[in-house]
């Protein structure tokens, strides 16, 4: 695998994690001028907690997802974290992300689900340790 492709994939993991944080701060759909897909204020499972609590919980969960994706990107790039951790970190972040999509479901999230499933497929496709992929051994 070329160094450029390795960097691009690492940056993708950072960006994907960042999108989770950005999505958590979208305005409520009830607010005037809200973009299509502003859905992060309710949950079919947690509505009894009230919108402010649900929103706070969602922000916390999305920061956790972002942190795990950033850690996965660092591991993928061999920065700070061991390179052999990338698959477990990507798997953990993606499973938490998919669970969040289920709990806070909105039809707009189908795109996020598709991206997460593609990421999981890539993790299972790249099932060799990263050191083997990078050295060609």
DSSP string, 105-125: --GGGHHHHHHHHHHHHHHHH
What string of pLDDT tens digits covers the 137 residues of the chain? 678 888 998 999 999 999 988 877 776 656 666 555 445 667 878 878 887 788 888 889 999 999 999 999 999 999 999 988 988 999 999 999 999 999 988 777 888 899 999 998 888 877 655 545 555 55
Q: 66 lies in which domain range?
A: 3-135
The number of folded domains in the chain is 1
- d(CA 108, CA 30) in angstroms, rounded, equals 16
Q: Quick one: tokens of 24?
A: 């958590």
- Phi/psi at 128 (nearest 5 deg)? -80, 155
Task: Work out the number of other CB atoms within 10 angstroms of the CB of residue 31.
Answer: 10
Cβ(34)–Cβ(28) below 8 Å: yes
Q: Quick one: tokens of 58?
A: 């969602």
């Amino acid at each position: 695998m070329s160094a450029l492709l390795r960097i691009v994939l690492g940056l993708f993991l950072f960006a994907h994690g960042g999108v989770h944080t950005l999505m958590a701060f979208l305005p409520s759909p009830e607010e005037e001028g809200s973009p299509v897909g502003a859905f992060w204020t309710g949950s079919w499972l947690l509505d009894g907690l009230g919108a402010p609590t649900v929103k706070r919980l969602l922000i916390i969960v999305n920061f956790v997802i972002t942190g795990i994706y950033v850690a996965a990107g660092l591991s993928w790039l061999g920065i700070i974290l061991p390179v052999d951790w990338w698959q477990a970190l990507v798997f953990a972040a993606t499973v938490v992300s998919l669970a969040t999509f289920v709990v806070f479901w909105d039809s707009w999230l189908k795109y996020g689900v598709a991206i997460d499933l593609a990421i999981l497929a890539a993790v299972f496709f790249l099932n060799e340790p990263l050191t083997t992929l990078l050295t060609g051994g």
